[in-house]
Amino acid sequence: MKKVLVLGMLFCFVFSMTAQAKDIWQMAESPKYGEKAGGMLGRGLLNAVTCFVDIPVQTVKGTQEAKPEFIGAVGGFAKGAVCTVLRAASGVIDVATFWVPGFNGLPVSRKYENCLDFGAQPAAAVPTGYVAPDTGVYPAAPAAVPAESRLKYVKK
């Protein structure tokens, strides 16, 4: 009975993260403590559970990119093993320290193609219906061109 109750609570907690307006990476970087703690715990659990995905992804990617496919597969496997260790360590650190105020963890990239690609984080989405504020600065109107200069290049 205790196992069912614990699994039910864990199930509710994990799937309540998807109801948030932000994703867990944005929540983990939030200055608000409640948002940060939930985001770090969710990101840590996700990274710890899915860390083994890096090995097959990197192996296939290495096979596709290298000419001797075997060498690419071996290199991709090695890179996947390193990314697996980094992602697992990041997940464990996030889960262990989600409650520490002001510490946002050591995140790895959310993409599995390259665990060290930190420039791949998506920019904040612009809400639909967004209208830019009127700054009062408008582009200058083009100067009027005399008719004879416009017709100068027309073949008669």
Per-domain residue ranges of the chain: 12-117
pLDDT digits (tens, 9 = 90+) for 77-108: 999 999 999 999 999 999 999 988 888 888 88
Instruction: Report which of residues 152 and 99 the model is more confident about.
Output: 99
Task: Name the pLDDT band for 25 (thresholds 50, 70, 90).
Answer: confident
SS3 content of the chain, % helix, strand, coil (to 5): 60, 0, 40
Contacts of 62 (CB under 8 A, 6+ apart): 72, 73, 74, 75, 76, 77, 79
Residue 67 clears pLDDT 90, i.e. is over it: no
pTM of the model: 0.61
Instruction: Report which of residues 42 and 144 the model is more confident about.
Output: 42
